[in-house]
Amino acid sequence: MAFTKLSLIEPILKALSTEGYTIPTPIQQQAIPLVLQRKDLLGCAQTGTGKTAAFAIPILQILYEQKPLAAGIKVLILTPTRELAIQIDESFAAYGRFTGIRHTVIFGGVSQQNQTNALRRGVDVLVATPGRLLDLMSQGYIHLDKLQIFVLDEADRMLDMGFIHDVKKVIAKLPAKRQTLFFSATMPPEIQKLAAVLLTHPAKVEVTPPSSTVDKIEQSLYHVGKMEKPELLLHLLGNKEIKTALVFTRTKHGADKVVKILQRHNIRAAAIHGNKSQNARQGALSDFKNGTLRVLVATDIAARGIDIDELTHVINFELPNIPETYVHRIGRTGRAGNIGTAISFCSTEERAELKDIQKLISKTIPVVHEHPFTANAHIAAPAPATRQQQSFKPRRNFNTAAGQGGNSQRRSYGAQRSR
């Protein structure tokens, strides 16, 4: 089915053609007609399925067909992070370029002056993060009495990041008569309760079951000793064909440690996680997109919402303890028709996580047997501290300065991981 079959208006079809889009994704095929019918919608979909266009396109059409528009905010999209808010606003700009619909984005961590100036000029669509939205509402810059459509995006992530109370404060300010679109990758009990309160006789759209998202991505698995993971990562990045890599760790501290190791070996890298300021996170993401950074090291919470068409590789430095998270991680690559590659490191301590992942995706991840760090891959338990330090012998021909820095860094990484 083509976009031309979805009863879309010419200005939107023209914008889609300009962007090079002709065929809607499954969620777009299902959701666009339902939203145009002004139904409430419960969408179970993760980032990368095309869900932003699934609500942006019909919202733009609904507003366009009401022109001339009265003053006031007609649409509010609430999303958990600055990065995702910016991406959604960019989508409205792209799909609505020929509609004349006014939109803006607000988020915390930066001066509010440019944002309040845009609000004063008047907007039809507001994309916002919860904290800044409540702040500007309390200052009298934002009024939602004219609101027609409310979109809650990444609801489960709102819960993960501790924003659910702010979300409920926003909901309390919304007009009772409205259309609500609710999106969440997962549906834990508290999110189910929230959906039940927000939605009235909703249509439900559920797409991309976890097992199918991984089929187009080339996956491989490296069994490696826990303390040799940094060496294996450096070894792999010696391959210049890995132009960009998003590396996942379980913890913020672990992400910072990996970045230090890479920087010691002159690999341009930065970390993105919850302890970083929003400016630092956005700067790292921008540098990664434009090629200034080769490697972005991220935790799972920070990485959701990252949408980079040209990302070639995802590397699981540590396997996640929730198998669905593996699917979310590797789904960051292989976008926009490109080939994606996902590489996972597995230590003995992570065998249970590997088993759960392979059960979920109904697939055995191919193992790479030939690599320099297989010797300690099957050790049942970590060696004593003195032995760990001895195991960090350089196995590659670094220059003298880099080699010394690498050994020092690997020792400190091993000590940190053993605590």
Task: State whether 89 and 104 are in the same domain.
Answer: yes
Task: State whether 56 and 78 are in the same domain.
Answer: yes
**Dihedral sign of CA atoms 393, 244, 27, 75 in order:** positive
Asked if residue 119 has pLDDT above 70, the reply is yes
As a whole number, mean pLDDT of residues 110-129 equals 96
Residue 333 binned pLDDT confidence (cut-offs 50, 70, 90): confident
Q: What's the chain's average pLDDT?
A: 84
Residue 291 binned pLDDT confidence (cut-offs 50, 70, 90): confident
Task: State whether 203 and 224 are in the same domain.
Answer: no
Q: Report how far residue 121's alpha carbon sits from residue 412's, in angstroms, rounded to the nearest whole number.
A: 54
Task: State whether 397 and 331 are in the same domain.
Answer: yes
pLDDT (tens digit per residue) in 253-272 = 999 999 999 999 999 999 98
Give the domain-ending residue among 208, 230, 257. Answer: 208
Task: State whether 335 and 260 are in the same domain.
Answer: yes
Q: Report how far residue 355's alpha carbon sits from residue 371's, in angstroms, rounded to the nearest whole number.
A: 22
Percent of the chain whose predicted confidence (pLDDT) is above 90: 58
Total structural domains within the chain: 2
pLDDT at residue 376, rounded to an integer: 63
Domain holding 92: CATH number? 3.40.50.300
Q: Which domain holds residue 354?
A: 211-418
Task: State whether 218 and 259 are in the same domain.
Answer: yes
Task: State whether 338 and 238 are in the same domain.
Answer: yes
Output the pTM of the full model.
0.61
As a whole number, mean pLDDT of residues 266-288 equals 85
pLDDT at residue 22, rounded to an integer: 87
CB 211 within 8 A of CB 361: yes
Give the domain-ending residue among 148, 176, 208. Answer: 208
Task: State whether 252 and 263 are in the same domain.
Answer: yes
Give the domain-ending residue among 178, 208, 238. Answer: 208
Task: State whether 203 and 299 are in the same domain.
Answer: no
Task: State whether 87 and 183 are in the same domain.
Answer: yes
Q: Where are the alpha helices (DSSP H) in 49-81?
A: 51-64
Asked if residue 329 has pLDDT above 60, the reply is yes
Task: State whether 234 and 362 are in the same domain.
Answer: yes
Percent of the chain whose predicted confidence (pLDDT) is above 70: 84
